[in-house]
Amino acid sequence: MLRLISIVFFILVVFALDFYVFQGYKLLVRRWLPGQSVLLYVLYWAIPIVLLLIVFGVLMWSAYPSKSKLMMWSSSLLFGLYIAKFIWFAFIFIDDVIRLAKFGKQQAIGTPKNTDISRSQFIVTTGALLAGTIFGTLIFGIANGAHNYTLIQRKLKLKNLPNAFRGFKIVQISDVHAGSFWSREGVQRGIQMILDQKPDAIFFTGDLVNNTASEFDDFKDMFATLKAPYGVYSILGNHDYGDYHRWPDKNGTTKAENLIQLKKHHEDMGWNLLINEHRIIEKDGQNIAILGVENWSAHRRFPKYGNLSEAYEGTAHIENKLLLSHDPSHWRAEILTKYPSIDATFSGHTHGMQFGIDSKYYRWSPVQYQYPEWADLYEENGQYLYVNRGFGYLGYPGRVGFLPEISVFELDII
């Protein structure tokens, strides 16, 4: 019942937003295309209604709505449409505030009541142009940004690194979110880019799926080709546990069964899934340690399943330690203060929010207001943190500014 009330309330809020923006829409239609006004009015309401019906239809009738391309495109168009409408809403609201102020002034000086205070065509038109630009940018981010993989190369200089590991190459990917993929060809291109780097080891730092292990079925064969001489090491992210899904699902699968299946995906591909544990890599008689923890976040809304003390146990004699931990907030909250001997931490999770400005000279994304470390390389007290921008995408099936990333590291000695 509570769920139904929430859905009804959401629909009413959306309708109210739509109706308000419609007032500005009518102004522009009457100004620019008066002869087509009826058709354009119908289209204004028909497009979101049809998209909503498609989304609800897929949710009701599809056994795997997260795999539906129709669901992906319909929800994406709706998302972009209402982001644009919200921007337009802000301009129309500003115009109404100005009109209200003018009305109050007229009342104060005794202007006749029938004096018309018309909407500002400039403000409404500017809002429409900005909204249209944002909508177009979001669509471009889907078509061009979702699988536009970018290689980011960094050198990590570590104290007392064994000579055998100088030049050791590591490739990191993170946040695959296989349930969101809409292009097998795009994913295959990214996989090939990883293999072309000829890494000595590969790190995967969590979130293989959005919610269910079955989302990975169609892509398992591709990711299984990821091999490296010294192994592929992986961990779980907050989405891998199924915490955001209603269990049992339509097929009767339970949350525990789903997690078992997801872990089996890692095993079947030959990946070393680190569940609060470590592995020691030996090269020419010299060693480094790879530690991996389950999801651990400093934010209350994300789980703390990780136990770094368990992963750390048995590695004190190893000079150099590399840690895989999905959520970058773990670094400042625990790693820096309690584990100074961990040389570098590899994380993901933030995706750079898939939107922002990411250049050599300036970097900005809304996610920075929640995470102090949210993209690329950080260093403090001789310890590194690298936050990968993510291989996939979640929610919005595209990227604007923050492109999907393949990180390439070369180890060296200070």
Per-residue model confidence (pLDDT) at position 114? 52
Nearest to 320 by CA among 164, 153, 123, 213: 164
Question: Using N-to-C axis directions, what is the helix angle for 37-61 and 69-109, rounded to 10°?
Answer: 130
Q: DSSP string covering 365-400, please?
A: -GGGGT-SS-SEEEEETTEEEEE---SS-SSSSS-B
Q: Cα 128–130–133 angle (5° rounding)?
A: 110
Burial of 105 (0-12, 13-18, 19+ CB in 10 A): exposed
Q: What is the DSSP letter of 217?
A: G
Per-residue model confidence (pLDDT) at position 118? 72
Residue 264 three-state SS: helix
Per-residue model confidence (pLDDT) at position 117? 58
Token pair recorded at residue 345: 């931490």
What are the boundaries of each domain within the chain? 2-144, 150-413
Q: How many CB atoms lie within 10 A of CB 381?
A: 6
Q: Position 345: which residue type?
A: T
Token pair recorded at residue 266: 């890692």
Nearest to 413 by CA among 158, 153, 154, 155: 158
- CA dist 375 and 50 (Å) reads 38
CATH for 150-413 is 3.60.21.10
**CA dihedral sign, ordered 215, 220, 222, 223:** positive
How far separated are the first and last CA of the chain, in Å rounded?
62
Token pair recorded at residue 206: 């969590």
Per-residue model confidence (pLDDT) at position 224? 98
Cα separations (Å) of 356 from 139, 343, 352, 363? Answer: 15, 29, 7, 8
Nearest to 353 by CA among 338, 364, 340, 342: 364
Mean pLDDT, consecutive 10-residue segments, the chain of 414 residues?
A: 76 89 93 91 94 88 75 86 94 91 78 62 92 94 95 97 98 96 95 98 98 96 98 98 92 94 98 98 97 97 96 97 98 97 98 96 96 98 97 94 98 95
Per-residue model confidence (pLDDT) at position 66? 65
Per-residue model confidence (pLDDT) at position 250? 79
Per-residue model confidence (pLDDT) at position 110? 67
pTM of the model: 0.89
Q: Count of H helices and E strands in the chain? A: 10, 14
Q: Position 168: which residue type?
A: F
Per-residue model confidence (pLDDT) at position 106? 75
**227 phi, psi to nearest 5 deg:** -130, 155
Per-residue model confidence (pLDDT) at position 266? 98
